[in-house]
Amino acid sequence: MSAPNPDRVLTGELLDLAVRIGAEAGAILMDRPAELEVASKSTAIDVVTQMDIKVEAYIVKELLAARPDDGLIGEEGASRPSASGITWVIDPLDGTVSYLYNLPGWNVSIAAKDEHGQLLGVVTAPSINSTWWATRGGGAFFNGDPIRCNEPISLARALLGTGFQYDIAHRDKQIADIARLLPQIRDIRRNGAAAVDLCHVAMGALDGYYEHGLKEWDWAAGGLIAQEAGARFGIYGQEPYEMTLAAGPTLFAQLEGFLELR
């Protein structure tokens, strides 16, 4: 009998850790306080609540208890270099505005990367009873079942997800893109949480997804899940118009051209 692959064993241990912490963080968020303390970040409509901060602190505490030498990148400020070669990329509450309005679909996004890129991703959305995960080269899963993106899909039959930047000064280009797209596609959906949108591409609940202005913690887990489900994934341009795109290969090529990304 051959010895187990040490890299695969490590990835499995990291995945188990991320799934556990994601579920625990999601449970904390489901215990929603009657009143949320809301503060602004980059703009007046880009908000953070006490729950974003509380949950990131919990995730960081649990990760470092298990992996004290790992690095961290978190939306709410967690940052430390890695001494182990593993860095965790955390969005403790992706979809804060949905959470603020008590709408479903917000999630906890936890990813890990090494020197080769994204190693694993876990997206936990307890308000819709959904957990997605993937490991590099290991496929993508939804609530334990393997998933694949829709392929082939043409632009004319595509159901797309998108979102809008919090800085309204940067929305003109997004409005122009939608105005050009709407006559060409099946329809557009706005779910309000990038990680879940990417996971919906992975499982075929959306045919494609694009959005300007995402940060690494928005796409780190969901982007890997989409790729492991057979989708293509790309990031183009420079901030603040940096574009994230995910779709099955056929539609991805059409959207690249239509959105003038190549």
Domains annotated for the chain, with CATH where assigned, are 6-146 (3.30.540.10), 155-258 (3.40.190.80)
Q: In this structure, are residues 112 and 168 in contact, taking their beta carbons and an 8 Å threshold?
A: no
Question: What is the spatial distance between Cα 231 and Cα 208, in angstroms, rounded to a whole number?
Answer: 9
pLDDT at position 46 over 80: no
- Which residue type occupies 245? L
Question: What is the spatial distance between Cα 101 and Cα 4, in angstroms, rounded to a whole number?
Answer: 47
Which range has the worst mean pLDDT, 1-10, 72-81, 187-196? 1-10
- Which is nearest to 61 in space by CA: 48, 47, 41, 80? 80
Residue 179, classed as helix, strand or coil, is helix
Cα separation values, 251 from 136, 151, 152, 207, 222, Å: 23, 8, 7, 8, 18
- The full 3-state SS of 123-143, as one line of letters, equals EEEHHHCEEEEEECCCEEEEC
pLDDT at position 4 over 80: no
What is the pTM for the complete model shown?
A: 0.94
At residue 42, the pLDDT reads: 58
Question: What is the spatial distance between Cα 92 and Cα 217, in angstroms, rounded to a whole number?
Answer: 9
At residue 45, the pLDDT reads: 46
- Model confidence pLDDT, tens digit, residues 54-74: 999 999 999 999 999 999 999
CA dihedral 248, 254, 255, 258 (to 10 degrees): 180
Q: With b meaning 16 or more CB within 10 Å and e meaning fewer, what string describes 21-39?
A: bbeebbebbeeeeeebeee
Q: State percent of the chain over pLDDT 90.
A: 78
* Relative orientation angle of helices 194-203 and 216-228, to the nearest 10 degrees: 10
At residue 171, the pLDDT reads: 84
Which range has the worst mean pLDDT, 31-35, 55-59, 73-77, 232-236? 31-35
The band of 48, judged by pLDDT with boundaries at 50, 70 and 90, is: confident
Residue 24, classed as helix, strand or coil, is helix
Kindly report the backbone phi and psi dihedral angles of residue 200, in degrees, each rounded to the nearest multiple of 5, phi listed first: -65, -35
Question: What is the spatial distance between Cα 163 and Cα 178, in angstroms, rounded to a whole number?
Answer: 11
Question: Residues with Cβ < 8 Å from 156, sequence gap 6 or more?
Answer: 184, 185, 186
pLDDT at position 104 over 80: yes
At residue 165, the pLDDT reads: 78
Mean per-residue pLDDT of the chain: 92
